[in-house]
Amino acid sequence: MTEKAKKIAMFPGTFDPITNGHLDVIRRGSGLFDELVVAVGDNPEKVALIDQQERAGIIRQVLGDLPNVRVETYSGLTTDFAREIGASVILRGIRNSSDLQFEFQVALTNRAAAGVETVFVLTSTEFAFTSSRLIKQIAQMGGDVSSMVPPQALTHILDACRKHTGPDETLHETQ
């Protein structure tokens, strides 16, 4: 009898910041694969609020209870990193039809160019409106984002916003 190959998936993103929607996809995705690698990348087209290593550390804190999930940082092409870690699948969360339209094209390109399949998981309804970009905007303008991010990330987000807005502007943390 031959031993079944371990099915490794990768969930890539900038996670700047990680949201409860990301966590929903990660937790549900962890049950679909033998191992799930949360791959924290840097997107040259985006200005990061939180440093890549700090983002990875936050995610490790949040996901410490999932034994088959590990967090890695990477730069460069996502498909190159997938090959490097032995992932045959890229996991992506879909919130709406706009996400699907964009992710569909990327998935086809990844399969054609690198032979990597993509598995889509629909986000839970309560997270369909959240995005890292909107959370950053709300936090930078002093709004309450505590219901949209894990508690471990909130302090990091608020500290980063304070650094970017300067000492004269104060953000209010509400519990």
Question: Which residue in 30, 55, 92, 95 is the catalytic one?
Answer: 95
Q: From the candidates 46, 133, 163, 164, give the one annotated as an active-site residue.
A: 46
* Vertex 53 angle, CA 38 and 116, to 5°: 30
6 catalytic, yes or no? no
**Residue 169, both tokens:** 């502007």
Q: Catalytic site residue 132?
A: yes
Out of 30, 92, 132, 156, which one is annotated catalytic? 132
115 Rama class: left (phi>0) / alpha (psi -120 to 50) / beta: left
User: 97 an active-site residue?
Assistant: no
**Residue from 122, 125, 158, 120 nearest 141 by CA:** 158
Report H helices in 31-150: 52-62, 78-85, 97-114, 132-140
Please identify which of the residues 22, 55, 92, 136 carries the catalytic annotation: 22
Q: Is 164 a catalytic residue?
A: no
Report the distance separating Cα 81 and Cα 41, nearest Å.
10
- Active site amino acids: 22, 46, 95, 132
